[in-house]
Amino acid sequence: MLLLVTLISLLVYIQDWDEESIPVTLHDQFSLVQQSDSIIRKVEYDSLIVDRPAPLSALFQDYEANVESDAITFKKSNQILGKYPLNKLFIQQIILADLNDDDVPECWILGLKHSKKTEIFALTIQAGHVKRINFPTLKGRQAFGYMGKDSLYLDKSTLARQFEFANDPYSDIESGRRVCYYQFGKDQSFVLKKTLDL
């Protein structure tokens, strides 16, 4: 019984304490304004800092590929395996995957030259050296109406190249996006599996 009376009186005391008003002084208001100024203040642009794009990197198991300003660096377990110079190529995408199951991943790269021409290639490590693998160029049916804006992505065990096309007389739709799916073999050859117009 005593416990119940104590509990009720404690609840009444807490309720009265919550309803009690707290006076706000002028000093409290000034300190709040000073702290809020740093939040509200507009950040000014520093013209001395050069804007650089966020660094690109890709991971696959314990392999890593990093795009630096002038080269791509390959690492395995934080140990550098090799570098590949970029030669004024602006990298847009980088994918690291082992599509031919040879236990060494390929680094798939999509970049733009200064002429705005798209360049796609792969890099792999063989005998301690970085080796370039040229990606197939668009030919025949795939090249009709090519408009650029390429992107790469993985679809299961295939590499998909997607781009815009327009005014293709051989397509069911006149303009849209075309996706070409490539299989990459152990002998580092490419096989075009299918082409879809979206």
Residue 26 has pLDDT above 60, yes or no: no
Q: What is the pLDDT of residues 82-102, one digit of tens each?
A: 888 988 888 889 989 999 888
- What residues contact 112, with CB distance under 8 A and at least 6 apart? 89, 90, 92, 118, 119
The domain ranges of the chain are 53-135, 138-198
Query: What tokens were used for 68?
Result: 């630096």
Residue 41 has pLDDT above 70, yes or no: no
3-class SS of residue 61: coil
Q: What is the pLDDT of residues 51-88, one digit of tens each?
A: 445 568 888 888 898 888 788 888 888 888 888 898 88
Question: How does the average pLDDT of the chain come out, rounded?
Answer: 80
